[in-house]
Amino acid sequence: MSDVSTKAPVIRLRGVSRTFTGPVDVTALHPTDLEVAQGEFLAVIGPSGSGKSTLLNLLGLLDRPSGGTYELGGVDVASLKDRERTAFRGHGIGFVFQSFHLLPYRTATENVVLAQLYVTRSRARRTEEAVAALRQVGLGHRLDALPPTMSGGERQRVAIARALVNRPELLLCDEPTGNLDSDNSELILRLFEQLHAAGQTIVVITHDHEVARRAGRSVTIRDGVLRDTVEAIGGT
Ligand code: ADP
Ligand code: MG
């Protein structure tokens, strides 16, 4: 690998905040600084209502901050026009959600092929890339399976293959083990560890302490305030 120390961090938040205005304003995220280096595997852990989805939506360019600056891959994303933002999101970020969001009447391969709308690749090349991504997540034997015939863990692996197929700078996951039993969660965590070892930058937002234990670094969010996790995780 090339020299990591000379690279800009993948994520750099400077004083990023989000306030929802209404009869009573709610500051869901207080001014936050966060850097995620290339190749890092970061877990953001916090209880319900702590601001996790707010942070995820900002990191994923699904929402705009009320204040502060966000650089993703060295680009100040506030400078992007709507269409550029959408394209940037399509290329730069692979999303994995708790509920897998697969098309039920399409095979695993077709689900991953369809994620390549933003890239200029021939139909044959899209299929090759989809098969390669499915093999990467250990599903080389399930290429033609339909999602309803797959286990939860297999479905989540299809979703991860779909997120990876465009080689995003950032894999951004929202409660990726939230719908899985412990055996399937374990498979997904091992997959994240493999991807991390291969250099993929991963941010997982979760309330699952096991995920945080397995990540390279974890930060805690509570009442919209992000902190380094200092103590052994446990308790509350
Ligand atoms: P989490 O994902 O950790 O459960 P959220 O980021 O969804 O937390 O919410 C954090 C806080 O912001 C909560 O108090 C929530 O009620 C509030 N909030 C989230 N989205 C909105 C919104 N669109 N309008 C008003 N308040 C919101
Ligand atoms: Mg949430």
Beta strand 93-96 with 11-20 is: unpaired
The string of pLDDT tens digits covering residues 68-84 is: 999 999 999 988 999 99
pLDDT of 104 above 90: yes
Q: How confident is the model at residue 7 (pLDDT cuts 50, 70, 90)?
A: low
Indicate the number of domains in the chain: 1
Distance (Å) from CA 49 to ligand 1 centroid:
6
What pLDDT is recorded for position 17? 97
Distance CA 90, CA 21 (A): 29
Q: Which residue's alpha carbon is nearest to atom 20 within ligand 1?
A: 54
Distance (Å) from CA 223 to ligand 1 centroid:
10
In a domain, 233, yes or no: no
In a domain, 3, yes or no: no
pTM score of the predicted model:
0.91
Q: Is 56 exposed, middle or buried (0-12, 13-18, 19+ CB in 10 A)?
A: buried
pLDDT average, residue stretch 137-161: 96
In a domain, 131, yes or no: yes
In a domain, 189, yes or no: yes
Element (H, E) at 156: helix 152-164
In a domain, 84, yes or no: yes
In a domain, 2, yes or no: no
> Rounded to whole angstroms, what are the CA distances from 215 to 44, 192, 197, 231?
10, 9, 11, 15
Q: How many CB atoms lie within 10 A of CB 76?
A: 12
Q: Which residue's alpha carbon is nearest to atom 18 within ligand 1?
A: 28
Mutate to test the pocket of ligand 1, among 30, 53, 55 (most ligand atoms within 8 A of CB): 53
**What residues flank ligand 1, with Cβ below 6 Å?**
20, 26, 28, 46, 48-54
pLDDT average, residue stretch 212-230: 91
Structural domain range at position 51: 9-228
Beta strand 11-20 with 67-72 is: antiparallel
In a domain, 172, yes or no: yes
Number of the ligand 1 atom closest to the C-alpha atom of 50: 3
CATH number of the domain to which 110 belongs: 3.40.50.300
HSE-up (13 A, CA, CB side) for residue 231: 4
Distance (Å) from CA 5 to ligand 2 centroid:
33
**Averaged confidence pLDDT in the chain:** 91
Q: Which residue's alpha carbon is nearest to atom 14 within ligand 1?
A: 49
pLDDT of 57 above 90: yes
In a domain, 88, yes or no: yes
Q: Which residue's alpha carbon is nearest to atom 15 within ligand 1?
A: 49
CA angle 205, 48, 214 (to 5 degrees): 35
Number of the ligand 1 atom closest to the C-alpha atom of 26: 26
